[in-house]
Structure 1
């Protein structure tokens, strides 16, 4: 009887999550007059009151008050840029309220005539990757200094060329909603130095870097590093990222070739929140099979980030990801009711506790593959404390059981992490589920395609 009641609760809460609340229905231009009621309603929805840090301050309303002339349906890179303001270089300065519905696949390598560009098309004439490998081979160049000189300069110019195409800049007061099957492919959605942005129901796929950088002094054996995230939030406030899926698709990092003894890294983060960004809510997303997922704070330098980087993560799924789930610096980061499905020899850690970080972890569920240990779910990146309660952990197909990530970590590693982050979250919309209900509930509700669009 009790199991039936719990199942009914999960199903009932899931139904509430996917049904939109009452919302004003807009008219529109382009194809917007043919949108379903559900899609129109999603465009007008705002982040509910108290729904995480994104609800602080003035709250997050995106483009919900957009007039009819600023409601768009787009199905191409050119159409997306036009709806965002008309000029990708300056669109971040466009603060006109706007609602943009994404239809089908939008690819960042779309050229001016609609044709698909290649890495060779974007490479500087003086850049040659084979020559790069010969010139900067550590056996020749050494391990102490980063590459420099004409060939590295040409690589950097190539990165600038790619950024011009594949980085799409978003202005303030914008709502982006994916219609059924919507996908951002091979692009970075950049939210930089703006306020009040909503992004929902989009599949983000494979923002690969044609021209990765080689850093011989990064770690003990050097590393290749990529320029591009699937989505990046920088120097911005009041952002809501909801019901999206982030993936590398059929181009995972695990499939990349080895150069200089290290895998070629063509991806950076899935959703990075950095450079003094704050007041962000990340809810009901799925992060699927990625290496680096979410970096909150990009530098250990004590300065502008202090008092910033306040982020809420709730009801997300981290499936097969390896690290940064998230990695935190400085911020008060509320992590509750998330589902972690973790496996593989390359797994590194789930939550990274960085400099002056104040994570608050509550009622999260962890399912661990063979060889993974509860003690390795946390990692000390220079932090000292976190609050953790209500975690449940399972190995393989065994049932979830209560477990303390913090106790397991402290028993295995020194120095210990303290148990009090020094704050208690107050911005939570709706009940916090018991951790055993989280896997079923998030499986039903998290990710792109779960909203009625």
Structure 2
């Protein structure tokens, strides 16, 4: 079990989950609109709740209602992976509400069930050992072909594709997915709430000897992917590596056998996304907004990737919270809690237009506030009213003073207006730490 010191108390995510079951007093005062009702008289049924007007980019235009208008026969409760995938497929894009009860394991049968006949990991290691294969060419041959075939079997098994006009909600404090990859791809109007996602483990990472000077293991599968989709609201979810943190993974060829990818990717022209009141914990590469600098990607992403992140807790992460390319991203009222493995929070990438305001950062003495921002490409950003360990801090000025070789420019060139509530940055740790994540919603 992965245990970390969190605000001075030894805790585990399992313990947090247990506490949340008995702590519904931590339900947020988030104003939620419901079709045909006022905010004050909103329905208690989670599946019928919709995103409030003005709540981030997902409220723009047509807004985000998910499956709130579902007919009775399109409201389903599921307890197994097979039931969940069947519920997604039923009824096409007609509005649907899928209620998840308990933890559903998408890989309950284990990695061996995906292995192609003849695939032998020990033989793979022997065939592609750098002492034998070298570092100059990508791997190929029988065992690599069998690894790829095995990976394709896992890909089919653990990915679930969400149709348009769908709401997926967890029932109670302990609902969620383990080993699953939720694909919100090329659809409109999706809501995902009150679920815990334990990051899927890639059973068949690929060795790439040409990646860097000494090669790397590369993995697939994010917990959730928003790919070319529009009007998506992810709210009160928890994303974590759970029982399989990177520290538990072995090493081969002197490199960690990386079996995790991201927790959330928003890519390929996705647009109008609100990510609110979530917990992102214990992970390396966390959130990617825009996945490439290439000309082909730029043609798809320019003018899109409008994302709001507010009232999220980012704790025990290494990097990408988020890393941004192209998009107009509004990140406010979030709490970032670092440990000594911290790399950075905001990655400033190709043509990004990031606004980072009213956030709180809790850093250990060994981590400088200059690391909060990471420059990948030259792109101006707005960073104001941010507090580091309770002190108002100019993140751009601190970064430029300590890392002058990567000077950042101020001024994102736009002003966010889609915010229903802005809490004082100094109040954010107490507010977000007690109300964000799965199991803390009315």
Q: Which residue of 2 aligns with 1:170?
A: 162
Question: Equivalent of 2:98, from 100, 108, 112?
Answer: 100
Find the aligned partners of 2:211 and 2:359 in 1 and give their Cα distance: 32
Query: Which secondary structure does the structure 1 equivalent of 2:285 belong to?
Result: coil
1:157 aligns with 2:152: no
1:72/1:337 CA distance change after superposition, 3 Å: same
Question: Equivalent of 1:420, from 411, 418, 430?
Answer: 411
Q: Which residue of 2 aligns with 1:118?
A: 110
1:375/1:133 CA distance change after superposition, 3 Å: same
Deviation at 1:254, TM superposition (A): 1.7
Find the aligned partners of 1:72 and 1:307 in 2 and give their Cα distance: 37
Q: 1:336, 1:362 within 8 Å by CA — same for their partners in 2?
A: yes
Question: Equivalent of 1:80, from 71, 75, 84?
Answer: 84
Q: Which residue of 1 aligns with 2:292?
A: 299
Q: Which residue of 1 aligns with 2:306?
A: 310
Deviation at 1:155, TM superposition (A): 1.0
Residue correspondences, number: 410
Deviation at 1:47, TM superposition (A): 0.9
1:230/1:437 CA distance change after superposition, 3 Å: same
Deviation at 1:38, TM superposition (A): 9.5
Q: What's the TM-score, normalizing by structure 1?
A: 0.87
Find the aligned partners of 1:17 and 1:135 in 2 and give their Cα distance: 58
- 1:376-415 to 2 correspondences below 5 Å: 376-394=371-389, 400-413=390-403, 414-415=405-406
Q: 1:204, 1:230 within 8 Å by CA — same for their partners in 2?
A: yes
Q: Which residue of 2 aligns with 1:375?
A: 370
1:141/1:78 CA distance change after superposition, 3 Å: same
Q: Which residue of 2 aligns with 1:356?
A: 351
Question: Equivalent of 2:336, from 325, 337, 340?
Answer: 340
1:334/1:178 CA distance change after superposition, 3 Å: same
Per-residue CA distance 1:394-424 (angstroms, 9 max, x = gap): 1xxxxx1111111111112224111011111
Question: Equivalent of 2:29, from 5, 13, 17?
Answer: 17
Per-residue CA distance 1:88-137 (angstroms, 9 max, x = gap): xxx9xx2110001100111112xxxxxx3121111111321111111112
Q: 1:19, 1:451 within 8 Å by CA — same for their partners in 2?
A: no
Deviation at 1:144, TM superposition (A): 2.5
Find the aligned partners of 1:296 and 1:283 in 2 and give their Cα distance: 15
1:135/1:298 CA distance change after superposition, 3 Å: same
RMSD across aligned positions (CA): 2.0
Find the aligned partners of 1:220 and 1:43 in 2 and give their Cα distance: 50
Q: 1:24, 1:41 within 8 Å by CA — same for their partners in 2?
A: no
Query: Which secondary structure does the structure 2 equivalent of 1:290 belong to?
Result: strand
Find the aligned partners of 1:202 and 1:22 in 2 and give their Cα distance: 20
Per-residue CA distance 1:213-238 (angstroms, 9 max, x = gap): 12223234322121111111101111
- 1:277-296 to 2 correspondences below 5 Å: 277-296=270-289
Q: 1:330, 1:355 within 8 Å by CA — same for their partners in 2?
A: yes
Find the aligned partners of 2:157 and 2:287 in 1 and give their Cα distance: 23
Q: Which residue of 1 aligns with 2:248?
A: 255
Deviation at 1:274, TM superposition (A): 1.1
Q: 1:204, 1:246 within 8 Å by CA — same for their partners in 2?
A: yes
Per-residue CA distance 1:30-88 (angstroms, 9 max, x = gap): xxxxxxx99962111111111111111211110010001100111111111121125xx
Query: Which secondary structure does the structure 1 equivalent of 2:284 belong to?
Result: coil
Unmatched segments (≥5 aa) in structure 2: 1-24
Q: Which residue of 1 aligns with 2:121?
A: 129
1:193/1:23 CA distance change after superposition, 3 Å: closer
Deviation at 1:15, TM superposition (A): 5.9
Find the aligned partners of 2:138 and 2:411 in 1 and give their Cα distance: 40
Q: Which residue of 2 aligns with 1:46?
A: 50
- Which structure shows the bigger proportion of residues in strand conformation? 2
Find the aligned partners of 1:366 and 1:237 in 2 and give their Cα distance: 30
Question: Equivalent of 1:203, from 196, 216, 221?
Answer: 196
